[in-house]
Structure 1
């Protein structure tokens, strides 16, 4: 049992018969009235994001979770298959647990978050940035670096991202997973 003063980013709580993780929080002390904590919480079971306000001193049930390193193997009609790097145990995760599956590449390391008491996988987290090779895009033209114009490109996982005009087929690009945004070209 924790109070609102213990709330921090990434903390998992039991709220409304569901498990949520804190995405953002802000302690607010208005000039008039009681203090409160404004939060943005995300359900680990459904992926829904909610805005919620807790009054100061409110008790929240903290859920103990464990992060385990897994390696992505493949996907089929049973789900996405991962292997634990230490125990070689394999687990299949369903579509609702795996976010940003279009960026998954064979051999990629991810974190699978487990409910520590029940030994149940709750969600899968990818690295913040990934490096992928562009498999198809329209050819770039020399001198197209001055503008911020973007063009569509397909990367090796089959996902489509928007890249600057100077990116060519075969280039490796760094992509932010959460937004799918191009960050930079990676030297080979």
Structure 2
């Protein structure tokens, strides 16, 4: 058991038999009252979020989730199939992987991590940065040199990302999967 004060962002704890990931934890100690920890939590099974307050010395049960390296294989309707090195297939609904769905494209070779809770796959984590190709974007706006000029661009799966003004159609770009932001131009994957 750990205290609420010891729980940091991205750690997982068990509340009423459900795994909750700490998205944000803020420790506060005022003069009169006892120390508290305000937490923003996400339920890993249902995807719902909530904010709650714990006393700093409240006991919580941490959970260590098992992770397995997988690659995207194929999709059928709203089911996405991932495969590990031993050719085991893991099926997930679109609702379970809603946050990574904009970056999943046919033929992708990125190594992902399947996250398991009690032997059941509950989500998939993408690498921090991925490389994707721009399929459509407008031309550059001439003369605007005021700073970091961004414009919309579409990827092959229809996802729209803001990219630097100098990016063109067929350019490969790096995207931060945590924020969905363009990072830089990149070389085509081998």
TM-score by length of 1: 0.86
CA–CA separation in structure 1 for the residues paired with 2:4 and 2:82: 35
Question: CA 1:78 to 1:171, structure 2 compared with 1: closer, same or farther past 3 Å?
Answer: closer
1:88 is aligned to 87
In 1, the alpha carbon distance for the partners of 2:5 and 2:139 equals 54
Partner of 1:110: 112
Give a deviation string over 1:81-117, Cα, whole Å, max 9, x none.
Answer: 10113x22111111121122121132221111111xx
1:100-138 Cα offsets, whole Å, 9 max, x none, are 2121132221111111xx201122111222111111112
> Which stretches in structure 2 are left out of the alignment for 5+ residues?
none
The equivalent of 1:122 in structure 2 is: 122
User: Distance between the aligned counterparts of 2:110 and 2:167, measured in 1?
Assistant: 24
Q: Does the 8 A contact of 1:132 with 1:174 survive in 2?
A: yes
User: In 2, distance between residues paired with 1:78 and 1:163?
Assistant: 29
- RMSD of equivalent CA atoms: 2.1
Residue aligning to 1:179: 179
User: Which blocks of at least 5 consecutive residues in structure 1 are unaligned?
Assistant: none
The count of corresponding residues between Structure 1 and Structure 2 is 185
Moved more, 55-64 or 144-153: 144-153
